[in-house]
Amino acid sequence: MVALINVSNRLPVTIANTIKPSSGGLVSALEGYRKTHDFMWVGWSGGPVDSPRRQRELAEELKSRFGYHPLFISQQDIEAYYTGFSNSSLWPLLHYLPSYSRFDHNWFEAYKKVNFVFAENIAELAEKDALVWVHDYHLMLLPRLLHELRPDLRIGYFLHTPFPSYEIFRCHPNRQELLEGLLGADLIGFHTSGYLRHFRSTVLRLLGRESRINTIAGKGHDVTIGVYPISIPTDKFLQKMTSAAYSRHLEEYRRAYAGKKVVIGVERLDYTKGVPRRLEAIEAFLKRTGRKDVVFIFINVPSRESVPAYQALRREIEHKVSRINGNFASIGNIPVHFIHQSVNFSRLCALYTLADVAMVTPLVDGMNLVAKEYLICKPDGDGVLILSEFAGAAQELPQASIVNPYDTAQMARALENALNRTPEERQKRLAPMRRRILRYNAQRWAGDFIADLAGVDKSVEKGAGA
């Protein structure tokens, strides 16, 4: 039994008066593994917890109830490491938006400090030869720091965002340290072969290190790189669709939207998700067709509200929604329903099932799980997915209606075509995509990564500095 330590910026819990576990895709993906292996999850507790006594109590409860090991990070460090370096510097750059990217030396210092706290804690907790799986851009320095403290560990790293081209990544003032940090891992995974290719060429051009097929010669050890397209926990969705709550919500929505075609968009309110341009496409569509029988439901969950770019985006979206509604609404008929709140899981599944069309049109997106979730919630195969060619998911779902999210006229036409498709056409295109997701689900994704990590050959470890 090989022990696994899973590491992410935040633990999947919300701590208020009580501890509430949250159920993201990663939690479900790892459920199977947890049942049969020693498992621990290390991450920030979320929110400031200042009293040492409270920290001890929480740590004990999280460990005994869930196998989680919380790290308590001060508010000041969170602002610099998380809001600053991770979300205002790295996130925009990884998404090809250098003009949104801000750099501040103090942010990087905090990022190093927090990554080091993760490394120290894991080094202390990990059994000999354990597997450690690190997730995402908040922890790019961690693989190297951890490798230096504990060379026996098999360290995996998975990037949930795109890895951009060299020309973009080179803009970052800390580009070399970040790459060296990543190359401390034994295995690095990406969603698509495009991201892997960019990583490989960035390593060559910035560090002068060649790669052979799927191996990069690191400092002291070789690094394997691979493609692992993340998927969704299909069982969780299929099970939810048999629940009474789901049926009740679906019935409620069907009554509320009787006689209407429903188009849905679901995302965190984030400038990478392409919402303003989608609204422009909708405006063009309404102007051209004059259709009164289409309702657009936008679920835009609040996200990173302390970052100014997100505050500006919210204002822009609200302005555009209200202009469309002002121009095209009539009494009893409002075209765009903008919901700046989270909806619960059974409602979300019911909305996916209800929707005739899903518009998933990010400007750039590592994968995009919403596209896959929509398809799985269409057991009768009757729906249309309009999907940005710049979402990682487009590589796997070629039968979708693929659009360029910068081309609003093309998106408007795609919407018109989607609404005019016959049921046979809709089913013919949706069925193979749904089959693919059922076959390659989140459990398979996690299983493949962990198996490859466990298979890393540590005997080829070279002397330091080789």
Residue 373 contacts ligand GDG per CB under 6 A: yes
Give every CB contact of residue 182 below 8 A, 6+ residues apart in sequence: 140, 143, 144, 157, 188
Contact predicate 231/444, CB 8 Å: yes
25 binds ligand GDG per the rule CB under 6 A: yes
Q: Is the CB of 13 or the CB of 130 nearer to ligand GDG? A: 13
Active site residues: 160, 365
Give the residue, chosen from 46, 143, 274, 366, that forms a contact with ligand GDG under the rule CB under 6 A: 366
Judged by CB under 6 A, the residue of 367, 377, 384, 411 near ligand GDG is 367
> Min. distance of Cβ 273 from ligand GDG in angstroms?
7
Nearest distance from C-beta of residue 213 to ligand GDG, angstroms = 25
Whether residue 124 contacts residue 153, with contact meaning beta carbons closer than 8 Å, is answered with: no
In the complex, minimum distance from the CB of residue 275 to ligand GDG, in angstroms, rounded to a whole number = 13
Question: Three-state DSSP class for 355?
Answer: coil
The token duo for 287 is: 């102007």
Closer residue to ligand GDG in complex, CB, 147/160: 160
Q: Apex CA 403: angle with CA 402 and CA 408, to 5°?
A: 160
Q: Does 301 bind ligand GDG (CB under 6 A)?
A: yes
Taking residues 186 to 225 in sequence order and writing x for each that binds ligand GDG by CB under 6 A, - otherwise, the string is: ----------------------------------------
Per CB under 6 A, contacts with ligand GDG among 316-345 are 342-345
Q: Which amino acid is at 136?
A: D
Helix, strand, or coil (residue 268): strand
Q: Which stretch binds ligand GDG (CB under 6 A): 139-147, 219-227, 309-317, 362-370?
A: 362-370
| 268 lies in the site for ligand GDG, by CB under 6 A | yes
- Which segment (58-66, 290-298, 360-368, 458-466) binds ligand GDG by CB under 6 A? 360-368
Q: What angle do CA 447, 25, 356 make, to 5 degrees?
A: 120
The residues, any chain, with a CB within 8 Å of residue 357's CB and separated by 6 or more, are 261, 262, 263, 264, 383, 384, 385, 386, 415, 418, 419
Contacts of residues 97-100 at CB distance under 8 Å and 24 or more positions apart, as own/partner, are 97/271, 97/272, 98/168, 98/171, 100/271, 100/309
Residues that bind ligand GDG (CB under 6 A): 25, 160-161, 230, 266-268, 299, 301, 342-345, 348, 365-370, 373
